[in-house]
Structure 1
Amino acid sequence: MKIHSAEFELSCVKPEQYPRERLLEVAFVGRSNVGKSSTINSLLNRKKLSKVSVTPGKTQTLNFFRIKTADKIIPDMFFVDLPGYGYAKVSKSVRQQWGPMIERYLSEREQLFAVVQLVDSRGVEAHDVTTYEWLCHIGHPPIVVTTKVDKLNRSQRNPCLTKLCQSLQLPNPDDVILYSAKTNEGRLELWKAIRERRETAE
């Protein structure tokens, strides 16, 4: 995928702050510190577009990034980086605000055509399962991406993939994209999945 430009647009917490330009949108969800920002940077061939933090819960708003590509199917769109679910080093009151903010966006945003759910390749947690089930329930079955596969050796990959599929009740392991933001493994596959999701949404 050739990227013409990728720029941070804005951060927001409520619908009236969303971008007024009605571009198509791809949302990235996953538990805190799963590698959402690193994956976005990898997809866009940028090193520091989306800020990466070792502190879980650093992303506390909906962050919109305007993307322009050379692809005719998805030439212009927003990537939307959502706050991580699960553990985060923030106050309980802040975490309680995230839930409604994220749910409102995912369930009501008309421009949203694809949701990418990132799951750590080293283990699925309860939050991953409930998020996957909820996304399917609201009509946004996610593109499942398992991150940090560079931390697994070859003998560990199949068992981890099998466990992930069992946890999410995915019948086909080929539906899961193995991704490494460090090596860019899975980059082409994820772009292909996003493109196909757009084609089927038309």
Structure 2
Amino acid sequence: MVDTMKILTAEFIRSCVGPEQFPNGGLPEIAFVGRSNVGKSSLINSLLQRKSLAKVSRTPGKTRAVNVFSVVTGDVQLARFMIVDLPGYGYAKVSKSIRAQWGPLLEAYLTDREEVRIVVLLVESRVPAAQDRATIEWLLSIGHLPVVVATKVDKLKPSERVAGLRRLGAELGLDDRLPVIAYSSTTGEGRDRLWTVLKERTRI
């Protein structure tokens, strides 16, 4: 199968713990958001075809900053941009003080950054959460039409796939504007489709 996106370079730039640390330079940004342990780091590594660019942790809630990566591709539609990995939400064992820091940081980034061209919302294909639906509604309210990606679809049996994704869409209140992209960081399923959607939606 022909790869739809050739990654020339992908590198970690910085971790931001406050809005003043967000990068300057005006490059378009693609933000990734989702609850803790949904597989954001694994998906970013899979998408960029790097084994350990985004650090994968077995401990939910480990990402406590806005992590920024610079990407250069061989595609003129999406040649240079930033990928931004936002802290995961919804992990109960994270202290209230840390959660209190995350909220304003995410809100400042997603509401105030002109560079944010698209938000990719990751949801667990088998276990959607009420917070996922609330996040979708909030993103829509501030003007972001998220790309919804169902992670870990390799964990679904083939016989469960169609019904499971349909149920996921219903529970999240999705409509024709928000189709679900099935993705597996293990097998690479969904990678080409996600790149296609990102190129269509960012219009860089």
- State the TM-score bracket (shorter-chain normalisation): over 0.9
TM-aligned CA deviation for residue 17 of structure 1? 0.7
CA distance in 1, matches of 2:15, 2:83: 12
Please name the residue that 2:6 is paired with.
2
Deviation at 1:88, TM superposition (A): 4.9
SS of the equivalent of 1:104 reads helix
Task: Spell out the pairing of 1:118-129 with structure 2 (5 A cutoff).
Answer: 118-129=122-133
> Contact 2:148 / 2:178 at 8 angstroms: preserved in 1?
no
> How far off is 1:89 after superposition?
3.5
What CA deviation, in whole Å up to 9, does each residue of 1:141-181 have, x standing for no partner? 10000000000111111121111111222234981100000
Whether 2:41 is the aligned partner of 1:37: answer yes
Aligned partner letter, 1:195: K
- Alignment partner of 1:137 is 2:137: no
After the TM superposition, which segments of 4 or more aligned residues of structure 1 sit over 3 Å from their partners? Answer: none
After the TM superposition, which of the residue ranges 86-95 and 66-75 deviates more from structure 2?
86-95
Segment of structure 1 superposing worse, 155-164 or 133-142: 155-164
8 A Cα contact 1:56 1:88, kept in partner: no
Is this contact kept in 2: 1:29–1:82, CA < 8 A? yes
Name 1:110's counterpart in structure 2: 114
The 8 Å contact of residues 33 and 88 in structure 2, kept in 1 or not, is answered as: yes
Residues 97 and 158 (structure 1), Cα distance of their counterparts in 2 relative to 1, 3 Å cut: same
2:161 corresponds to 1:157: yes
**Contact kept? 1:13, 1:61, Cα under 8 Å:** yes
Tell me the equivalent position of 1:54.
58
Residue 90 of structure 2 aligns with an amino acid whose one-letter code is: G
8 Å Cα contact 1:178/1:186 also seen in 2: yes
Structure 1 unmatched runs, 5+: none
State the partner residue of 1:78: 82
1:97 to 91, 96, 101: 101
CA drift at 1:22: 1.2
TM-score between the two structures when normalised by the length of structure 1 = 0.95
TM, length-normalised to structure 2: 0.95
Unpaired stretches in structure 2, ≥5 consecutive residues: none
Identity %: 56
Matched-pair contact (CA < 8 Å) for 2:147–2:178? no
| Partner Cα distance (2:160, 2:27) in 1 | 40
On the 8 A contact 1:55/1:89 being kept in 2, the answer is no
Q: Kindly report the root-mean-square deviation, in angstroms, between the aligned alpha carbons of the 2 structures.
A: 1.4
